[in-house]
Amino acid sequence: MLAVKGGNPVRTKPWAPEFISSEEFDDLEKEYVLKVLEKKRVFRFYSNKLADSEAARLEKLYRERISSKYALAVNSGTSALVSALVGANIGPGDEVIIPAYTYIATAAAVLIARAVPVIVEVDDTLTMDPQAFEAAINEHTKAVIPVHMKGIPCDMDKILDISTKHDLIVIEDVAQANGGFYKGKPLGSFGHAGCFSFQQYKVITSGEGGLVTTNDDVIYTRASIYHDSALSYWGAKLFENVDSFPGENYRMSEINAALGLAQSQKIDSIVTKLRQIKRTIVDGIKSIPHIQLQRVPDPDGDVSYSLIFYLANTDEAKEFSELLNAEGIPNGTIYNNGIADRHIYVNWDYVLDKRGASDKDNPWNCESYKGNVQYSKDMCPNTLDLLSRSISISLHQNLTEEDCQDAIDAIRKVANHFN
């Protein structure tokens, strides 16, 4: 009998901890952070020995992980996106295609670079729909930002084929998929640039932080200049064919870098555990006829910290979610913030209203922009339909076999209610 009807819930114990990253804090993080304090050097450029910087070591780790020529540590994932966009010379007059389901920072970064975001549908992977992407391309399109949402790799073969065909810049948003792969290659290695986030909700954390990877000399140099308006003062070697220009201060501190360095050494261990946990639950529920599992373009490359499946319609998803919660398995839908509103385009108020930081001059009304992008809350009906029918369960590397079985039993119990 269902718990809501007086039966015993499948589970009464708490589910997984909220954070993946900080649950892994141990003596390694303490050692690395204390090392910075002992050196009394919390600013990466406070030394002639720039290679001794913890930020430089973090960059080296990601160059080797991603097999990229360059890596640039910055202070957030948003900063990484902005730096990559500016690095690729994307700005006023340009349109950049982004998915309708991503953190609002993806759209904000485009606007901060003074370009215009064009929002397109996601498909049943909940990542960018390649067909919708290609249909949105016009003479103003300069770039695309595929987002590996909730650890799921995009269909990079199709996205790259379309991008190459139309000569577009590809900037991967890997903020939610650090440690993921697509057909054996690490996410962040496919585009002209890859952008990572180390914020606490991510797989690994430095508290706040981000990183740009690229093989392009000019993108790296321009991104470096933009991330530090005084970069030349620190003795950094810049390419002679790139002129200096005004930048921001997106530098990463040595304390953040030390924490990120320690955490990043644990990515493979964390993701290996997550993949086994998700695989166990998927194997236990994939035969249930009433639910449709989220399609994953490359299951072996999935970071695997979320389990998502679809119900037949919105009402069933709402009811299924309530019943599953009552059985002791926390989950979310578009209606209860389990799939957070700030990740859904309908809640990007300043984007939909074309409201920039300045009323007089913003990316939509500046002289350089000749396009006419239009937004509305119903512009991506397929995305809203998928999200309205989806159930999302957060997974964690500390879940046990018993925990996995509880999830399987609860999902099966609730699904039987709909048969």
CATH number for the domain harbouring residue 164? 3.40.640.10
pLDDT digits (tens, 9 = 90+) for 168-221: 999 999 999 999 999 999 999 999 999 999 999 999 999 999 999 999 999 999
CA distance 172 to 213: 10
Residue 185 resides in a domain: yes
Q: Residue 302 corresponds to which tokens in the numbers above?
A: 């999935």
Asked if the structure places residue 204 within a domain, the reply is yes
pLDDT in tens, 295-354: 999 999 999 999 999 999 999 999 999 999 999 999 998 888 777 789 999 999 999 999
**pLDDT tier at 235 (50, 70, 90 boundaries)?**
low
What's the mean pLDDT when you consider all of the chain?
Answer: 95
As a whole number of angstroms, the distance between CA 167 and CA 123 comes to 23
| pLDDT value at residue 236 | 63
With respect to residue 36, please indicate whether it lies within any of the assigned structural domains: yes
- Residue 234 binned pLDDT confidence (cut-offs 50, 70, 90): confident
**How would residue 231 be classed by pLDDT, with cut points 50, 70 and 90?**
confident
- 398-413 pLDDT tens trace: 999 999 999 999 999 9
Q: Please tell me whether residue 130 adopts helix, strand or coil conformation.
A: helix
Residue 322 lies in a domain: no
pLDDT value, residue 368:
96
Residue in the block written with tokens 């729909």 = 129
| Within-domain flag for 195 | yes
Q: Is residue 373 a part of any domain in this protein? A: no
| pLDDT for res 381 | 98
How many other CB atoms sit within 10 Å of the CB of residue 241?
Answer: 8
Q: How far is CA 149 from CA 155, 172, 410, in A?
A: 12, 11, 26
Count structural domains, the chain.
1
State the pairing for strand pair 169-173/181-182.
unpaired
Q: Is 258 domain-assigned?
A: yes
For position 244, what pLDDT does the model report? 86
> Which pair of tokens denotes residue 17?
């901890």
Which range marks the domain in which residue 103 is found?
Answer: 27-266
Q: What is the pLDDT of residue 120?
A: 98
Q: Residue 51 has what pLDDT?
A: 75
DSSP state of 202: S
418 inside domain: no
